[in-house]
Amino acid sequence: MNKLAINYKNIYYPPGGILLWIIIFLELITFGIALIFFVLSSKENPELFHTSRLQLNATFGMINTVFLLTSGFFMALTVKEFKIKNISKSKKYLLATMLFGILFLILKTIEYSGKLDAGLGVGHNSFFAYYWFLTLFHVIHVIVGLVILTTIYFGLKKEKLTTEVEDVEASAAFWHMCDLIWLLLFPTIYLIL
């Protein structure tokens, strides 16, 4: 009976809580709808979208993919170590998670600067309107994720541990959502068209 209660709890109370997962699903749906419109718009003007895509730096996009996947890996290790009460390792892995998130933002800033210097702003054409909307919306999520992770980190640094497993799992769920969104954005925007 006790095992049944635990399984019931896992189904209806996923890591981070049901509200967080509702938010994650809504975010994924929002990005998904925007990507569908992006693809539909590309079908209306394939040459414009193709030539515009060629002005993106796919190498930067790939490096940023590696940064986010590496940060996601370290976030998973953070949760694992926290659950076995290895707070010291958990803090180190969380710092590595944040470092790769910051590296993502730095490279994205360099990319954005290059686009703006080349006159490829949001008003340049419909491809770049989508590019800026989708990638900036993702960047906002990464920044929010880093704020959440920083809060978790300082909770782990306190002498009397105030951070709960649910807090770490919730932050991990949000961070992995940022990874997943980028895994949808990168190939669609940088590679496919």
Average pLDDT over residues 19-35: 91
**Read out DSSP for 81-123?**
HHHTT-HHHHHHHHHHHHHHHHHHHHHHHHHHHHHHHTT--TT
pLDDT band at 17 (very low <50, low <70, confident <90, very high): confident
DSSP code, position 164: -
- Measured between alpha carbons, how far is 150 from 177 in angstroms, rounded to an integer? 17
Q: 37 or 160: which carries more pLDDT confidence?
A: 37
Q: What b/e readout covers 99-118, taking b as 16+ CB neighbours within 10 angstroms?
A: ebbebbeebbeebbeebeee
What per-residue confidence (pLDDT) applies to 102?
A: 98
What per-residue confidence (pLDDT) applies to 101?
A: 98
Q: Which CATH architecture describes the domain 2-192? A: Up-down Bundle (1.20)
At residue 1, does pLDDT exceed 60?
Answer: no
What per-residue confidence (pLDDT) applies to 11?
A: 54
At residue 35, does pLDDT exceed 90?
Answer: yes
What per-residue confidence (pLDDT) applies to 9?
A: 53
Q: For 62-120, what is each residue's pLDDT tens digit?
A: 999 999 999 999 999 999 999 999 999 999 999 999 999 999 999 999 999 999 999 99
* 111 neighbors 57 (Cβ within 8 angstroms): yes
Average pLDDT over residues 129-134: 96
At residue 10, does pLDDT exceed 70?
Answer: no
**What ranges do the domains of the chain cover?**
2-192
